[in-house]
């Protein structure tokens, strides 16, 4: 007999999901800050066989403490909002946007090392907005409106602005999130029939 998860167990699993990613990023940033260590070479380097490992590593690596800190708040907020659907959905969106967005950066990105969680953050953002528009349930619309209000400025991040910022990660992360949001919203609407 299966029991329904309690609010406390859902809260605990949500915290664990988000905290585990933040902790991995933090530990790697500490290591990356040590003299003589540069883990960012494990980022995505487009069209290079060695750069393929970056698809898995890049989201957890950051160029500086400022880069790390500026990614953590939107990551925590957007992750928590997706966990309102389920923690499993958060993991699905995280993995899909990291892998598909990362692969697209590897194929189409500028010849430079791309690191940071912002590709996934844009994937979470794109997912929430697309899912809310397509799904049209009260919950998904409210979450999408909150994200649209809080992070409306993200739209500019998908355009090339500063050389040291990987707009490609933002763009392809958002596109992969939109794609998954569309697919899952359609599937969820079909289940409700």
Q: Tell me, what's the pLDDT at 154? A: 93
Q: Tell me, what's the pLDDT at 44? A: 98
Q: Tell me, what's the pLDDT at 191? A: 83
Please give the class, per CATH, of domain 7-192: mainly alpha
pTM given for the model: 0.92
pLDDT beyond 80 at 4: no
Helix H or strand E segment including 120: helix 118-135
Helices (H) and strands (E) in the chain, counts: 7, 0
What does the domain layout of the chain look like in residue ranges?
Answer: 7-192
pLDDT category at 167 given cuts 50, 70, 90 is very high
pLDDT category at 9 given cuts 50, 70, 90 is low
pLDDT digits (tens, 9 = 90+) for 14-72: 899 999 999 999 999 999 999 999 999 999 999 999 999 999 999 999 999 999 999 99
CA distance 20 to 143: 23
Q: Which of 40, 58, 131 is nearest to 101 (CA)?
A: 58
Tell me if 94 sits within 8 A of 120, measured CB to CB: yes
How far is CA 161 from its chain centroid? Answer: 20
pLDDT beyond 80 at 2: no
For residue 113, the tally of other CB atoms under 10 A from its CB is: 21
């Amino acid at each position: 007999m299966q029991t329904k998860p309690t609010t406390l167990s859902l809260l605990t699993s949500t915290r664990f999901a988000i905290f585990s990613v933040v902790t991995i990023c933090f530990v790697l940033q500490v290591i990356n800050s040590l003299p003589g260590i540069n883990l960012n070479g494990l980022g995505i380097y487009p069209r290079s066989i060695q750069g393929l490992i970056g698809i898995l590593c890049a989201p957890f690596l950051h160029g500086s403490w400022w880069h790390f800190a500026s990614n953590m708040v939107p990551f925590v907020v957007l992750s928590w909002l997706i966990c309102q659907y389920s923690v499993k959905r958060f993991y699905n969106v995280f993995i899909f946007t990291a892998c598909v967005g990362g692969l697209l950066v590897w194929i189409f990105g500028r010849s430079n090392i791309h690191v940071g969680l912002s590709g996934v953050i844009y994937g979470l953002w794109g997912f929430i907005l697309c899912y809310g528009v397509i799904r049209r349930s009260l919950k998904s619309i409210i979450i999408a409106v909150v994200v649209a209000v809080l992070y409306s400025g993200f739209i500019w991040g998908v355009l090339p602005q500063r050389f040291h910022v990987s707009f490609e990660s933002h763009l392809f992360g958002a596109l992969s999130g939109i794609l998954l949001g569309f697919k899952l919203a359609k599937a969820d609407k079909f289940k409700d029939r």
